[in-house]
């Protein structure tokens, strides 16, 4: 039984079930994913207007701080609450918890962000518009982030590799 099942009065599937059922693969930032939608609508640049993925994160793993040029909307599906951690260009940190009364959050393009789950796992969907392209995916080293944001040492060490 899933660690959060008793809290919510339901028997939830395990993270391994979802990895197999959804065909998830390891993500470079941490966690597991699979692209499930790519819009047939193309922008003038040839990029899809929108893309979406399934994303699964298990404690104690984390989604390392990364940045996209596009906005990314997160949708909570099941499991334990997930925290989306953001660091804006001015060095301000925010945390948004999905899974207990809040089920969507949009990360503004240009913000550094990552995620964590305190226990168990969370299965979410992430939608990017304009569509995701790994050319726009920045996954800096811990040293690079600390050089840019020295006042956020603990935050960066917790969410970087």
pLDDT averaged per 10 residues, the chain (length 161): 50 89 97 97 94 98 97 97 98 96 96 98 97 94 98 98 94
Nearest to 115 by CA among 96, 129, 143, 101: 96
Q: The tokens of 29 are what?
A: 């930032």
CATH code of residue 33: 2.60.120.10
Residue 12 confidence (pLDDT): 73
Residue 11 confidence (pLDDT): 57
Q: Is the pTM of this model over 0.75?
A: yes
Asked if residue 93 lies in contact with residue 58, where contact means CB atoms within 8 angstroms, the answer is no
Instruction: Give the number of domains in the chain.
Output: 1
Residue 47 confidence (pLDDT): 93
Map residue 82 onto helix, strand or coil. strand
CA distances from 15 to 22, 33, 106 (A): 11, 12, 24
Residue-number span of the structural domain to which 76 is assigned: 5-158
Cα(76)–Cα(103) distance, integer angstroms: 5
CB atoms within 10 A of CB 10: 11
């Amino acid at each position: 039984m899933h660690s959060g099942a008793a809290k919510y009065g339901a028997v939830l599937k395990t993270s391994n079930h979802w990895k197999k059922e959804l065909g998830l693969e390891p993500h470079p930032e941490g966690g597991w994913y699979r692209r499930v939608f790519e819009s047939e609508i193309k922008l003038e640049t040839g990029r899809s207007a929108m893309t979406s993925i399934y994303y699964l994160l298990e404690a104690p793993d984390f989604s390392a701080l990364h940045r996209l040029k596009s906005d990314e909307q997160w949708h909570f599906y099941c499991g334990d609450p997930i925290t989306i951690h953001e660091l804006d260009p001015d060095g301000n940190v925010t945390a948004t918890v999905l899974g207990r009364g809040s089920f969507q959050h949009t990360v503004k393009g240009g913000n550094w962000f990552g995620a964590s789950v305190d226990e168990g796992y969370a299965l979410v969907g992430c939608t990017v518009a304009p569509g995701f392209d790994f050319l726009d995916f920045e996954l800096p080293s811990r040293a690079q982030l600390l050089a840019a944001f020295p006042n956020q040492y603990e935050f960066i060490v917790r969410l970087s590799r």
